[in-house]
Structure 1
C-alpha cells in the first residue's frame, strides 16, 4: 500500500472529522476517536492540526468556501429566485458537509461553544451583504413591499429551515423549485419568464 502524502493524510483527517461531527456533534467528537479511525496516534493527528478547534476551523472554512451567500455576491441584478434554487441544489450535492454545518450551528447556541462567535459573525455579515444587494437593486422597499432587512432575515431563515427539513427527509427533492416559487412572493419579482402566460379572461 502506497504511503499517503501529507496532503492526502490531512484530507483523510478532515473527512473523518466531518463524518464524526455530523454524527456526534463537536463535543461528542474526540481527537482520539479521529486518530483511531485514520490509523494514527493522537500525536499524529496533532501533527496536522494542533488541536480540535483547528479542525473545527477547517470544517467551517470549507463550508465558507462553498457558502451559499457567497454565490450571490456581486449578482444583485440577476434572477434571485433562480439563483437560490441553484444554491439549494448545490448544498444538496454535499450532504455530509451540510449536515456537519447544521449540527455545529445548532450546537453553537449552547454556552461556551467554540463556534458561537463564528456563526454570530457569519449571519451578521450575510444579512449585511443581502441588505446591500437588495437596496442596490430596489432601494428602500422591494417590489413585495418588504424592507431589504426583512427580506434578508426571511431568506436566511427560509434557507436554514429548508435545509433542516431536507436533512431529516432527503426524499424531498422539490426544495429548489419550492424556494424559487416562494422567493418570487417574498421579493415580489412575479412569475418566472418560463411560466405560461395566463389565458384570456
Structure 2
C-alpha cells in the first residue's frame, strides 16, 4: 500500500489512529481509555480530544482505518473469479481480525450502540454496510455471469446474508474462541456450490 503524505495536523491524526489501532489490538477495547490512548500518542487528553472531539469519534475513525486495511487485503478493486475465491478472501479477513480481538470487540460494541440514529457512529455504519452490500452484490453478479451461481439467485439478497454471516460469526467467536470462523465460511461456500450444482442439473 502506498504511503500517503499529509499536512502537519492530518499527519498527527494519522499517527494517533495508528497508535490507537496498536493499543486496542494489544490491550483490548475495554483497556483503551482516553488516558491510555493519549499517553501512547504523547498527548494530553485535551490534545487528543482536540483532534477527534470524542472517544466515540476516535473509535469510529479507528474502525474506518481498519476497514481500509481489510479492503486492501480483500482486493476490493478486483472481482473474485470463483465462489471459492470469494469465500477465501472473506476467510482471510476474519482470520486477520481474530488476531486483533480488541478491534473485533470494538466493532461489535460500537455497531450495536450506533443503531440509534443520534449516535456519532450511526452514519459511518450505515454507509459501511451500504458499501459492503454494493460490493458483495456486484461481486456476486459477476460470479453469476461466469456461471458460478444459479441465475435465479438474487445477488443483493445473498450479499446481505454474507455480511450477516461474517458479523454473526465474529460475535459468536467473542463468546467462544474455539469457533473457527474461516471453516464456517467455507461451509457457506460449500452451500453456494451445491446451490449452483442444483441450478445446473442435467435435467435443465
1:67-146 alignment, distance < 5 Å: 67=70, 71-73=74-76, 74-78=78-82, 79-139=85-145, 142-143=149-150, 145-146=152-153
Contact conserved, 1:81 with 1:181, CA < 8 A, in 2? Answer: no
The unaligned stretches of length 5 or more in structure 1 are 1-5, 191-201
What's 2:29 paired with?
22
Q: Distance in 1 between matches of 2:13 and 2:26?
A: 19
Contact conserved, 2:148 with 2:196, CA < 8 A, in 1? Answer: no
Task: Please state if 1:55 is matched with 2:55.
Answer: no
Report the count of equivalent residues.
Answer: 179
Contact conserved, 1:16 with 1:34, CA < 8 A, in 2? Answer: yes
Contact conserved, 1:16 with 1:38, CA < 8 A, in 2? Answer: no
Contact conserved, 2:73 with 2:93, CA < 8 A, in 1? Answer: no
1:175 to 175, 181, 194: 181
TM-score by length of 1: 0.70
RMSD: 3.5
Q: Distance in 1 between matches of 2:13 and 2:121?
A: 25
Comparing both structures, which one devotes a greater share of its residues to helix?
A: 2
What's 2:8 paired with?
none
Contact conserved, 2:19 with 2:40, CA < 8 A, in 1? Answer: no
Bigger radius of gyration? 1
What's 1:66 paired with?
69
The unaligned stretches of length 5 or more in structure 2 are 1-11, 198-204
Q: Distance in 2 between matches of 1:165 and 1:58?
A: 24
What's 2:163 paired with?
156
Q: What SS does the aligned partner of 2:158 have? A: helix
